[in-house]
Amino acid sequence: MNKRKFSKEEISWILYDVANSAFTMILTATIPIYFRSLATASGITEAHATSIWGTTTSGALLILACLSPVLGALADYQNMKKKIFSYFLTLGIISGLVLIFAPNWITFLICIVLTRLGYAACNIFYDAMLIDVTPNERMDYISSMGFAWGYIGSCIPFLAGILLILLTPFGLNTVSATKLSFFITMVWWFVLTIPLLKNVKQTHYLRPKKRVVSHSFRRLGVTFIKLRRNKKLLFYILGYFFYIDGVYTIISMATTYGGEVGIDSTQMILALLVTQVVAFPFSILSAVFSKKFGTMRVLKTYIILYMGICAFGYGLDTALEFWILAFMVGMCQGGIQALSRSQFGRMIPKKESSEYFGFFDIFGKFADFLGPLIISICAFFLHSSKYGVLSLVVLFLIGFCFLCKAEKLIKEENREDF
């Protein structure tokens, strides 16, 4: 089944991962570095810049976490999923373009919050569209291909931006070249989203209601009760909350942490580029592994590998070690995200996919709120983020335990069905 040709809808869905992953690249690499330069130029220390960045990131994601289930519930109605997606796409891209004109680090930070809100909200509906573009048996494969091509495709605008920053052609200086790289990324994001807006249709939906907002809130209460009663889904999403916390924190805080321990900015950016390239084949391999060994078993393996990454990151203090860390992260990050998404997609009611992915997202966003906050607290009080990096091991361990509980219940249910 996996070997058949991609449908037009599947290709369009995969292309959006290529589109928005370009923003993820600059959010991970150049944006934190640029912010740190603005902040330190205003007299803020490196450690406090790390704390401000982490706290603001947490705040932005906390806002979206509170909105996610409501937005998801609204999007489940006929023709609403893509409409709400378009609104947040506009917010993300316009706010990203305004970054170019931000005069100081405070204005820059406000723009980042708005851009990140738009980007993260779009991902709720994008993830939920997976069930509209492909059947259950292809979800691991298509989800993995999205992450794989997203990683490798995002390197194109990122490389263009890095070359501009390093070479400063056309009379540009470093600051103007960095701003031009932001512009290129926003254009890339918009252009490669057009196929999804054109070709992907909402095939699973609820019929419109007269009082759609109040009805959505009532549905949220019912869904929450369903989640409490569905132990396998509850344990799975709780496990996801803890282990994805560590994954997202490592992604969002990598360059900030690297800068704090003294890694050269150019070395960090090139190492992160290697992460993207390594993630391409390993994301595709994750679908192969899941088919051979089972999705839950592969997810648990990734969690164990991430525990090793955290332990390694704790002692990191050289550029070579940062390169090794980047390679290790590249092996794991695409696979664990892709398989988490597809496994959840198979476990939920199709007509309420956006609402359930809204709950899925709230767990993910609260996790992404908690991780950077831990790093920020360690940076502020202990004057080093390495203790925060090490503490992520505990989160991965808790996630592993919940995943084991979910896997056990799934196996028991399958035996009963048989």
Instruction: Show the beta-strand stretches assigned E in 194-322.
Output: none
Closest CA to 248 of 2, 64, 48, 19: 64
Specify which residues 77 forms β-bridges with: 206
Tokens 């009080």 — which residue?
381
Task: Quote the radius of gyration of the chain (alpha carbons, Å).
Answer: 21
Tokens 């199709």 — which residue?
350
Closest CA to 219 of 68, 368, 69: 69
pLDDT, position 372: 66
Ordered per-residue pLDDT tens for the chain, 418 residues? 455 688 999 999 999 999 998 888 788 778 887 888 788 777 777 667 777 777 777 677 777 777 776 776 676 767 778 888 999 999 999 999 998 888 888 888 888 888 988 888 888 888 888 888 888 788 888 988 988 898 888 889 988 988 888 888 888 888 888 889 999 999 999 999 999 999 988 777 666 666 655 655 566 667 777 777 788 888 998 898 889 888 877 766 665 556 666 666 677 777 777 888 888 899 889 989 998 898 999 999 999 999 988 888 777 777 777 788 888 888 888 889 889 988 888 887 776 666 677 667 666 666 566 666 776 677 677 666 666 677 788 889 999 999 999 988 888 776 655 4
pLDDT, position 1: 44
Angle at 388 between CA 383 and CA 393, to 5 degrees: 160
d(CA 235, CA 215): 27
Query: How far is it between the farthest Cα atoms of the chain?
Result: 70
